Amino acid sequence: MKKILLSVVAAAVMSTGMAHAATGVQKEITIVANINDAIFVSKPDGSTWYDKEELFPKDYTQTEFASNDLPVRVYTTQNEVNVSLVQNPIIARNDGAQLADVGVSFAGKPIVQGTALKITQTSIAPGGFDNTYTLKINAKAPTNAGATTNGSYQGNLVMLFEPKP
């Protein structure tokens, strides 16, 4: 009797396990890849884009700041590219104090919001043009900081690279 009861219990457990396994659990991961055969913008080695960069004081007074030279590789199928700012960069503390006169230059030329900077690609590559340019960010210490300019300032730089048709 014990053997029969054990066999019945074992069969019930196994059938329950099989029933759960049969229904399964479906999981999804969304995978995204963007391919644009007209333009590709990256670091010089062709890898990712910049994530976080620091502005450094130009001297001990800490009244002017600049980024390191950031090399940017631009591959295009056409020889002309428009580069523009999507929005003016605002670099601020949590209390609203902002770095002043934030300037962005690309290929040694200033970029201002609302005006596209035309870049002519000169280095011929398979299927198009491939050049590396320097991106630079400058700013001055805030004038609206209140009693102290001390603190951590953060902001975003949003640029648009468009191939000319």
- The structure's pTM equals 0.74
Upper half-sphere CA count for residue 105 (Cβ side, 13 Å): 13
Name the residue among 111, 97, 78 with its Cα closest to residue 152.
97
Please tell me the CATH code under which domain 39-143+153-164 is placed. 2.60.40.2040
pLDDT digit of tens for each residue in the chain (165 aa)?
Answer: 334 333 444 444 444 455 445 677 877 777 766 666 788 899 999 888 888 899 999 999 999 999 999 999 999 999 999 999 998 899 998 888 899 999 999 999 999 998 999 999 999 999 999 999 999 999 999 876 667 888 899 999 999 899 886
**Domain limits, the chain:** 39-143+153-164
Cα(60)–Cα(63) distance, rounded to whole angstroms? 8
Cα(84)–Cα(73) distance, rounded to whole angstroms? 16
Provide the 8-state DSSP code for 86: S
Provide the 8-state DSSP code for 12: H
Tokens of 47: 């890898």
**119-142: buried (b, 16+ CB within 10 Å) or exposed (e) per residue?**
bebeeeeeebbbbebebbbbbebb
Cα(116)–Cα(20) distance, rounded to whole angstroms? 60
* Kind plus residue range of the DSSP H or E element containing 52: none
Tokens of 27: 């999981």
